[in-house]
Amino acid sequence: MLFDVKSSTQRDIYNIVIGLVAPRPIALVSTLDPDGSVNAAPFSSYNYLSLDPPILGLGIQARNGATGELKDTARNIERAGEFVVNVVTEDIFRAMNVCAVDFPPGVSELEMAGLHAEPSSSVAVPRIREAHAALECRLFQTLQPGRGRIILGSVLAIHVEDRYVDPKGPYILAEELHAMGRMNGLGNYVRTRGAFEHLPRLSHAQWAAGERV
Ligand SMILES: Cc1cc2nc3c(=O)[nH]c(=O)nc-3n(C[C@H](O)[C@H](O)[C@H](O)COP(=O)(O)O)c2cc1C
């Protein structure tokens, strides 16, 4: 099938793109609401986009419906200029899904999800205590391609529980972290536990010497 963007609905494009750009990491993003309470919501339109300096990107769509208003996360980041990406692993997977419920104003997603705020080291926005890793970010730039926002954040500090770091690298012990990935919407995710494939990269010299893996 061919999906021509001009003649497709927004919904079709959403369904097809998220099914093809997958699996995606999941950022459980904490921000501060105007009243100082902690907001938390998951975003899988998310990745690192630069390392020197380290910059993360978040794609935050406008809310469905005619008004197309901004989601609280985008509003909070634009106002306060800070956010924290909490890494979604197996053990906070269901809590992450609770944070995506459209609760009425005044209801704390963290409380509903059984999660707790923990002070960050370099931003006023707390990280989530139950997350094994978190990236503290300051707003670098906002792009406005349509009704939503592309948020670029400079990473100021990275928190990782010691047991998930091999200090020899340092490397993340990814096989033990058990990160989750999002697939085609429809509530479909992948686990990474026991799912690793090892494929070392070859230099040209190794290739030329006939090495294959
Ligand atoms: C796993 C998962 C990933 C999501 N990814 C995105 C995303 O990348 N962009 C987006 O706009 N909404 C995404 N959503 C929906 C938001 O989390 C949802 O609209 C949330 O209620 C927004 O909360 P907020 O208004 O507090 O920002 C995702 C939901 C789930 C469950």
Q: From first to last of its 213 residues, what are the pLDDT tens digits of the chain? A: 999 999 999 999 999 999 999 999 999 999 999 999 999 999 999 999 999 999 999 999 999 877 889 999 999 999 999 999 999 999 999 999 999 999 988 899 999 999 999 999 999 999 999 999 999 999 999 999 999 999 999 999 999 999 999 999 999 999 999 999 999 999 999 999 999 999 999 999 999 999 999
**What domain range includes position 105?**
5-208
d(CA 180, CA 200): 23
Q: Which amino acid is present at 75?
A: R
Q: How far does residue 191's CA lie from ligand 1's centre (Å)? A: 19
Per the omega criterion (within 30 degrees of 0), is the bond before 119 cis? no
Does residue 149 belong to any structural domain of this protein?
Answer: yes
Tell me, in angstroms, the distance from the centre of ligand 1 to residue 158's CA: 22
Ligand 1 environment, Cβ below 6 A: 26, 39, 41-45, 59-61, 71-73, 97, 100, 102, 182
> Which protein residue's CA is at the shortest distance from atom 19 of ligand 1?
100
CB distance 36 to 52 below 8 Å: no
Which atom, in ligand 1's list, is nearest to the CA of 109?
A: 26
pLDDT given at position 106: 85
Atom of ligand 1 nearest to the CA of 102: 21
Q: How far apart are CA 201 and CA 174, in angstroms?
A: 18
> How many A from CA of 157 to the centre of ligand 1?
24
Instruction: Determine the number of helices (DSSP H) and then strands (DSSP E) in the chain.
Output: 6, 14
Which mutation among 70, 71, 184 tests ligand 1's pocket best, with the greatest number of atoms within 8 A of CB?
71
Mutate to test the pocket of ligand 1, among 11, 18, 37, 43 (most ligand atoms within 8 A of CB): 43
For residues 195 and 175, what is the distance between their CA atoms, to the nearest angstrom?
8
Residue 213 within a domain: no
73: domain CATH number is 2.30.110.10
Q: How far is the CA of 184 from the centre of ligand 1 (A)?
A: 14
Atom 18 of ligand 1, residue of closest alpha carbon? 100
Calpha distance 50→36 (Å, rounded)? 30
The secondary structure element, H or E, covering residue 29 is strand 27-32
- Using the mean position of ligand 1's atoms as its centre, give its distance from the Cα of residue 33 in Å: 16
Structural domains in the chain (count): 1
Do residues 15 and 185 lie in contact, with contact meaning Cβ atoms separated by under 8 Å? yes
